[in-house]
Structure 1
Amino acid sequence: MTNLFTRIKNTIMADLNEALDQKEQKNPIALLNQYLRECELETEKVRKLVERQYSLKEGFTREYHQATQLAEKRKHQADVAKNAGEVELYTFAVQEQAQYEDRAIRLKEALEQASKQLLELEQKYEEMKHKLKDMNIRRLELMGRENISRAQHQINKVLDNSTYSDRSYSRFHEIEAYLDRIEHQVNSSYHRNTIDARIAQLEKEMKKEETAANL
């Protein structure tokens, strides 16, 4: 039965890895974005742990100061009771003082441990933030290179007839021929209008000369 479960687990993991490989080959940037989102979630979890550790440290600090103050208070009360000859009060105050002092010792150790753990968490959190920032910068760099690669590929397809489809290339050829026709029409119209204007001017001048000769 164990071997069967192991084979099923291995089969599922193999299928999952194959699916991830196919996804990476199809769109590596999308997979990278997914990984970064997961890293952001993990970083956010650590941030919340840091905040919680802050709260714990503050709690230990409050309890430690309170226990210390109460121990001092009971010590003073024990001295007063002793001087007054109140044995019962003295005994009670001394016992209370000892309990508060023991509690203060435990709280001090817990506070030191919490402070140490908080420092470690803060360092890890800052390290994770820096790594996340660096990975985001690398993602932008990769996206820039991928974009240039795709753009260059499209440019090469357009400019290189051997790798571009006949239909798309013929479309460019049609546009070039159309521009040639327009240019020819414009040039012909320009020359025609120029010739007409010149001949009309010549006819006008000749008429003036004939009129002057007849006078």
Structure 2
Amino acid sequence: MTSIWERFKFAVATDLDALVSKKEEKNPLAVLNRYILEAEKQTTDTGKWVERQAQLNVKLEKELDEATAMLQKRQSQLELAQASGESDLSVFAEMEVAAYSNRVSELKRSISENLEELTGLEQRYEEMKHKVKDMKVKQLQLMGKENATRAHHQMDKVLNPELAAERLGSYDDMASYIKNLGAKVEEDHERSAMERRLELLEKKSAQQKEIG
């Protein structure tokens, strides 16, 4: 019974999506509106990842502070053990100093890499926010143009019937422009995503060469 109900819900949802898509084909501005909503969601999700990256950096710095403090403590204890002639304590303290020294070095390297990544993420995040904002401004401009065109068309049907067809033509031109704009934004987004993947691939390849 549950399976049948799930299939029914899926079929209804599919039909609704098809209906919405069909309506949007006749209204390019609706396509742009929908794309902006998706872009806003992606930007919000990206912001969460950027925030998480910053939080990780704070945790790394906390670990570095603790490791540095322990390193200094063990170095002081090593000097005391050596001065006191406590050979077994000296050996233990030397091992601890080496361990904390390695940890401090590793944490410093990780923090440096993380800060570099964080800076890049923050820059791209700001670019995303500006992109969405520019799209919303363009959306308002196009909505105003669409509204004015519709209003003129209605007026012309009464005041200047001979201009009605011309007004309708300008509206169709505007609709075509919006549709092309949406396609261009989608293409730019896809190209940007591919470029980021190529950069990541190059970085991984360089790291593998360093390890090898």
TM-score by length of 1: 0.64
CA deviation digits over 1:132-169, x for unaligned, max 9? 111000000000000011001101111235699xxxxx
CA deviation digits over 1:157-199, x for unaligned, max 9? 11235699xxxxxxxxxxxxxxxxxxxxxxxxxxxxxxxxxxx
Query: Which residue is 1:79 aligned to?
Result: 79
Distance 1:159 1:57, change over 3 A: same
Distance 2:136 2:35 in 1: 11
Query: Which residue is 1:100 aligned to?
Result: 100
Q: Which amino acid aligns with 1:90?
A: S
Query: Which residue is 1:33 aligned to?
Result: 33
Q: Which amino acid aligns with 1:94?
A: E
Instruction: Please list every run of 5 or more consecutive structure 1 residues that lacks an aligned counterpart in the other structure.
Output: 1-17, 165-215
Query: Which residue is 1:158 aligned to?
Result: 158
Larger Rg computed on CA atoms:
1
Q: Report 1 or 2 for greater relative contact order, CA contacts < 8 Å, sequence distance ≥ 6.
A: 2
| CA contact 1:43–1:125 (8 Å) conserved in 2 | yes
* CA RMSD in angstroms, aligned pairs only: 2.3
Distance 1:105 1:162, change over 3 A: closer
Distance 1:80 1:162 in 2: 102
Residue 25 of structure 1: how far off its partner (Å): 3.8
Distance 1:162 1:129 in 2: 45
Query: Which residue is 1:91 aligned to?
Result: 91
Distance 1:60 1:35, change over 3 A: same
Q: 1:46-195 to 2 correspondence within 5 Å?
A: 46-160=46-160
| CA contact 1:71–1:100 (8 Å) conserved in 2 | yes
Identical-pair percentage: 43
Distance 1:154 1:54 in 2: 55
Query: Which residue is 2:5 aligned to?
Result: none
Instruction: Please list every run of 5 or more consecutive structure 2 residues that lacks an aligned counterpart in the other structure.
Output: 1-17, 165-212
Count of paired positions: 149
Distance 1:63 1:161 in 2: 77
| CA contact 1:23–1:31 (8 Å) conserved in 2 | no
Residue 28 of structure 1: how far off its partner (Å): 1.3
Is the partner of 1:149 in helix, strand or coil? helix
Distance 1:41 1:78 in 2: 55
| CA contact 1:81–1:89 (8 Å) conserved in 2 | yes
TM-score by length of 2: 0.65
Distance 2:132 2:80 in 1: 62
Distance 2:120 2:70 in 1: 32
